[in-house]
Amino acid sequence: TGVLDDCLCDIESIDDFNTFKIFPKIQKLQERDYFRYYKVNLKRPCPFWADDGHCSIKDCHVEPCPESKIPVGIKAGSSNKYSKAANNSKELEDCEQANKLGAVNSTLSNQSKEAFIDWARYDDSQDHFCELDDERSPDAQYVDLLLNPERYTGYKGPSAWRVWNSIYEENCFKPRSVYRPLNPLAPSRGESFYTWLEGLCLEKRVFYKLISGLHASINLHLCANYLLEETWGKPRWGPNVKEFTRRFDPAETKGEGPRRLKNLYFLYLIELRALSKVAPYFERAVVDLYTGNGHEDAESKALLLDIFRDTKSFHMHFDEKSMFAGDKKGAKSLKEEFRLHFKNISRIMDCVGCDKCRLWGKLQTQGLGTALKILFSEKEIQSLPENSPSKGFQLTRQEIVALVNAFGR
Q: Give the annotated binding-site residues for FAD.
A: 151, 153, 164, 212, 215, 247
Beta-carbon count within 10 A of 13 CB: 13
Residues in contact with 186: Cβ distance below 8 Å, sequence separation at least 6, in sequence order: 179, 180
Dist. CA 223–CA 245, nearest whole Å = 9
Q: Is 77 left (phi over 0), alpha (psi -120 to 50) or beta?
A: left
Cα separation, 33 vs 283, whole angstroms: 20
Cα 67–Cα 73–Cα 75 angle in degrees, nearest 5? 40
Closest by Cα among 217, 165, 168 to 196:
168
Region of residue 286 (phi > 0: left; psi between -120 and 50: alpha; otherwise: beta): alpha
* Catalytic choice (9, 55, 223, 354): 354
Instruction: Give me the catalytic one of 7, 172, 223, 357.
Output: 357
Give the three-class secondary structure for 207: helix
Query: Distance of alpha carbon 240 from its chain centroid, rounded?
Result: 21
Residue list, annotated binding site: 151, 153, 164, 212, 215, 247
Active site residue 201: no
Could you confirm whether 95 is annotated as catalytic?
A: no
Give which of 367, 353, 351, 347 is closest to 153, Cα–Cα: 353
Residues with catalytic roles = 354, 357
